[in-house]
Structure 1
Amino acid sequence: MTEYGRGQSLPPWHPDDPLFGDKGWDGGRDGTHPGDGDPYAGQYADPYSTGQHQVPHQQQGYYTQQPQQQQYYGQGGYEGPAAGGHYDPGYGMGATDPNGMPTVTDPYNTGQQPGYYGAQQGFPQQQPQGQGYPGPYAQPVPEGYAAPPPGRPDADPETGWDPGPDQGEHAFFSERDDSDDDLDDDEGRSKRSGRRNRGGETKRRSGCACLAVSVLLAGGLGTAGYFGYDLYQTYLAPAPDYPGKGSGQAQVKIPDGASIADMGTELQKAGVVKSARAFVEAAEAEQKASGIQPGTYSLRKKMSGAAAVKLMLDPASQNGLIISEGLRAKKIYELIDEKLGKAKGTTEKTAKNANSTDLGLPAFAKGNPEGFLFPSRYSVGQKSDPLDVLRDMVGRAKAEHTKVDLAGEARKAGKTPEEILTIASLIQAEAQQDGEFGKVSRVIHNRLDKDILLQFDSTINYAKGRSSLDTSVEDTKLKSPYNTYLNRGLPPGPIDNPGHQAIEAALNPTKGNWIYFVTVKPGDTRFTASKAEHDRNVQDFNKEQRKKKENGG
């Protein structure tokens, strides 16, 4: 049994079968006359003995394509007038060739062949819409294609078919290299030239894209190389450095708050070191480098980083002015005159003649620099001026006050900023050890709260312009607003220049009920809330003072 049914099997399919092929077929397989040496010419087997010719309809993937309509054929197969190979448009009667096959013509005179096989026994045949490909395989036209009318200039000269511009499979191959299409006619050459031109444009566009990518890659590689080299020079390569200890002289001012890196930058600007990193690396290798303080240094030109670090740690190179905690303004003036080589009294006169604006003092200072010359190390060079040095000290004090929020914290404590600075100056004068600062502050606060006289010897010493532990009964009768034996409350202002620790203690006194304290001897300060105990402590203090005098102290 074959796939066509029971009965005589069909011969193998031959692609040159004229039933599926060229226009104008009129005979056997070899295109001559029907039946010439071909037992199957012009007909197909009748497997069911119906007396009708069996027509393969859409078998093995082949099917006919007609204009969309239903076609009805008469009984007994193909009939129509024998009109010399012309097809009967009436569909009812028709002519056959000598072999019994219907002759086929184009009913619409389109120059194209209709389908060769129709339905049998009058059954309607629904045809697919559109025109079919001519040729032996009768493939369907892909969707979106249309056969051009006869005579269309861009139709294929052999088949009459033109798929239209840039469509389907033909569009895919329109950009291929057509160098092997050796068409000799002018139209062919024109088409090939057009395709090559379009291909050339594509190739040029591709070449430009490749060039752009290459430029971008080259730029990226160049940028990466540049930053890689910079990274190497910055972090991996040895720091540029001078050899040896250098020569000549150079004064370098290290500003307040400068880091090691900032110091290296200043040294590089002054020509002391070749690079800031050379100084930083040398400082990192020296444990004592953290002790380098702001100030003015006398150094040499073209020093190695290690040599610069070593010299800056040497006190001989430091042109800074060191102001210790608790120094009075009068003593500070003397130190400035000495450091600058000025006549004695020059700085004090400058301070008295300057107003608050010149010195940068706050309004509550009332023009008095006492308490605002912050203890620290200051840069003093050969060209420094006394007023500039004083201004630097006041500026440092203001920075400290901002740091601890003096105004806000004083308000919380129920005091003014001036009162806090005055308390801090008392603490700085009376406290001897670190652990005593908070306790002395508590005694001051408790006495002020209870309205008890402070009775501090330090206030009398300030009024008398001296520093002594011996306070006589006569001293306690000194008429001065700074005499806290006679005047209740705080003195008119600070009695020295307190540092950070004293200011913090004034704002945050240690908790306690102490009312009295006395330093019997260094490292032995006794605090108590009992008057009797305090009196005994005072007796011990007097004994220690007698021993010192006996020993010539």
Structure 2
Amino acid sequence: MTEYGRGQGSEPWHPEDPLYGDLGWRGQADDGRSPYGGRPQQQYPQQPQYGDPQGQYPGQQGPYPGQQAPPYQGRQAQQYPGQQQNQQYNGGWETGQNPAAVPYGAGAADPYTQQPGGYPGETPDLYGTPDAYPPPQPPGRRPHMPEQSPESQPNEPDEPEHAFFAGGDGRDDDGEYDDDPRERRRGRGGGERRGKSKPKRRNGCACLMVAVVLVGGFGGVSYYGYQFWQDRFGPAEDFAGEGRGQVEVEIPSGASGTDIGNILKQKGVVKSVGAFVAAQTGHPDGKLIQPGVYTLKKEMSAGAAVALMIDPASRSGLIIREGMRNVQVYAAIDKQLGLKAGTTKGVATSQVKNLGLPSWADDNSKIKDPLEGFLFPSRYDVGKSTKPEKVLQQMVARANEKYGALNLEAKATALGLDSPLQVITVASLVQAEGMTHDDFKKMSAVVYNRLKPANTVTNRKLEFDSSFNYLKNQSKINISIEEIRGHDDPYNTYFYKGLTPGPIGNPGEDALTAALAPDKGGWMFFVSVDGQTTKFTKTLAEHEKLVDQFNERQKNGD
């Protein structure tokens, strides 16, 4: 449809006109003035077109109302603003529409609305149908559009609200997701889509739950962070004061400071391992703490515990001296454990096979006590709650350890002895008669020299008073010759040749070493003149002179 040269009629240009806003047509000015800068538009007479001799469209009675027909044909078109100078009018206009035109006029049909009875060949108006796209609205043309009311303005998109805080999963009651920002970008606001508009709901419980979780998480992190700092850098927890009550604590051999701290903490002595380790490290004698049973107090400060454990008086130990006989050891155990006298001896007799003796022990039926020589002299940890059999087992285990380290079985053969038990027996005799390390080595030589078959002076008899005292369970120095030589007992070396059936005591490590490596001086006799010093001789004559000196001192009361 060709529309050109429409005048400034009283009828406004319809905003849905397809040519409204065309950049090639200046249209009516925004302020209602002429689009030609205020100058009057030149009028041209209507020229006949398409072969119409009257210069009018079919059915048209004259020019448009209020407008003179412009003379087009045969004249050059007037230049309009924005039109190129070289453009020439060729007597017609290329509009791309059907040449048939619909004139304006009163009672005429709206040329912008598709009518059922339109002109033949007329192209449908794509902008006047309900399904049409909205007409183009370029910049600068909006003042021609009718002003919209605030209610008709499109809703501005709100900030998207997370479904968690809206009290749901983002869907409305019909299961549809509402207020989707992507819908609003497509021009379909969530509030007007499907004619529904639902108010937003904030779930206070959800917010409260988030707050609780955050506060709880922060509190947990703070607590464990403090604990980590306290363990690594803070002072260890500790009791104050000297403690209360009493508790026995056994510290095993080889225990480190941390091990001791753990034991004390379990017993309730100290409050923390760290406090004890710090106190032990800070004490100048902290490393002197020995294995054993200690009588301590509960809830002591770490410093007080370290100081008490360094004091030997705190150790609940049992000390077995070198040369002690078993009867003496049994009595000491009963006293330490607060038991009735004879209790430990009864346990030793009944439990002898369960105490760990080696296979070569008790190899003689005449042995008075199979445990003799196996309750090794040392310090033992014995508390009030310790059982007698446990103490005996500790002593036998210590003896086996020492005897194994000395390799008694191999050494016995080299010394001409029948068994390792005889090595212990020699050591027990040396321990009973000697007083010093030098005495032990010479005394060991006397034992081996008197056992030799070539010994015609004593006829292989040892004649040791110590063996007679053992069988008599006594410790006498002055024993009459009649009494000692007339007593028939396998342990009487004045009556029987050779060694006693078994040890006569529990020798220490020094006496054992001397029994394995005797002195090579050829000593045959010895006598203790003053009860403290022992003198050795190789001949009987030298020995008799020493005996006379000893008897003289006895008469004078020395």
Match of 2:293 in 1: 296
SS of 2:375's equivalent in the other structure is coil
- In structure 2, relative to structure 1, the CA distance for the partners of 1:362 and 1:242 (3 Å cut) is same
Q: Distance in 2 between matches of 1:376 and 1:300?
A: 26
SS of 2:520's equivalent in the other structure is coil
- Give the drift of 1:463: 1.2
Match of 1:412 in 2: 414
Paired residue type of 1:512: G
- In structure 2, relative to structure 1, the CA distance for the partners of 1:263 and 1:534 (3 Å cut) is farther
1:254 aligns with 2:251: yes
SS of 2:529's equivalent in the other structure is strand
Match of 1:146 in 2: none
- In structure 2, relative to structure 1, the CA distance for the partners of 1:393 and 1:239 (3 Å cut) is same
1:339 aligns with 2:336: yes
CA contact (8 A) 2:470 2:504 kept: yes
CA-to-aligned-CA distance 1:89-145 (integer Å, 9 cap, x gap): xxxxxxxxxxxxxxxxxxxxxxxxxxxxxxxxxxxxxxxxxxxxxxxxxxxxxxxxx
Match of 1:540 in 2: 549
- Give the drift of 1:295: 2.5
CA-to-aligned-CA distance 1:218-275 (integer Å, 9 cap, x gap): xxxxxxxxxxx99x988x9877654432334321012345566654443344332345
Q: Which runs of 5+ in 1 are unaligned?
A: 1-228
Match of 1:95 in 2: none
CA-to-aligned-CA distance 1:69-106 (integer Å, 9 cap, x gap): xxxxxxxxxxxxxxxxxxxxxxxxxxxxxxxxxxxxxx
Instruction: Give runs of aligned pairs for residues 125-524 of structure 1, distance below 5 A.
Output: 242-256=239-253, 258=255, 262-274=259-271, 279=276, 282-283=279-280, 292-356=289-353, 358-366=354-362, 368-415=370-417, 416-449=419-452, 450-451=454-455, 452-473=460-481, 474-524=483-533
Q: Distance in 2 between matches of 1:275 and 1:522?
A: 55
Q: Distance in 2 between matches of 1:325 and 1:384?
A: 23
- In structure 2, relative to structure 1, the CA distance for the partners of 1:534 and 1:345 (3 Å cut) is same
Q: Which runs of 5+ in 2 are unaligned?
A: 1-226, 363-368
Instruction: Give runs of aligned pairs for residues 64-143 of structure 1, distance below 5 A.
Output: none
- In structure 2, relative to structure 1, the CA distance for the partners of 1:446 and 1:238 (3 Å cut) is farther
CA-to-aligned-CA distance 1:517-540 (integer Å, 9 cap, x gap): 112124421112121111111222
CA contact (8 A) 2:357 2:396 kept: yes
Paired residue type of 1:460: F
Paired residue type of 2:473: G
- Give the drift of 1:457: 0.4
Paired residue type of 2:472: K
Q: Distance in 2 between matches of 1:453 and 1:303?
A: 61
Paired residue type of 1:400: K
CA contact (8 A) 1:371 1:495 kept: yes
CA-to-aligned-CA distance 1:459-484 (integer Å, 9 cap, x gap): 01011111111121122321111111
**CA-atom RMSD in angstroms:** 3.0
- In structure 2, relative to structure 1, the CA distance for the partners of 1:259 and 1:485 (3 Å cut) is farther
TM-score (norm 1): 0.52
SS of 2:360's equivalent in the other structure is helix
Match of 2:4 in 1: none
Percent identity, aligned pairs only? Answer: 46
Q: Distance in 2 between matches of 1:532 and 1:240?
A: 76
SS of 1:483's equivalent in the other structure is coil
Q: Distance in 2 between matches of 1:394 and 1:527?
A: 34
- In structure 2, relative to structure 1, the CA distance for the partners of 1:261 and 1:421 (3 Å cut) is farther
CA contact (8 A) 1:239 1:275 kept: yes
Q: Distance in 2 between matches of 1:482 and 1:288?
A: 48
1:530 aligns with 2:502: no
CA contact (8 A) 2:336 2:384 kept: no
CA contact (8 A) 1:463 1:483 kept: yes
Q: Distance in 2 between matches of 1:259 and 1:502?
A: 33
- Give the drift of 1:442: 1.7
- Give the drift of 1:327: 0.9
Bigger share in helix: 1
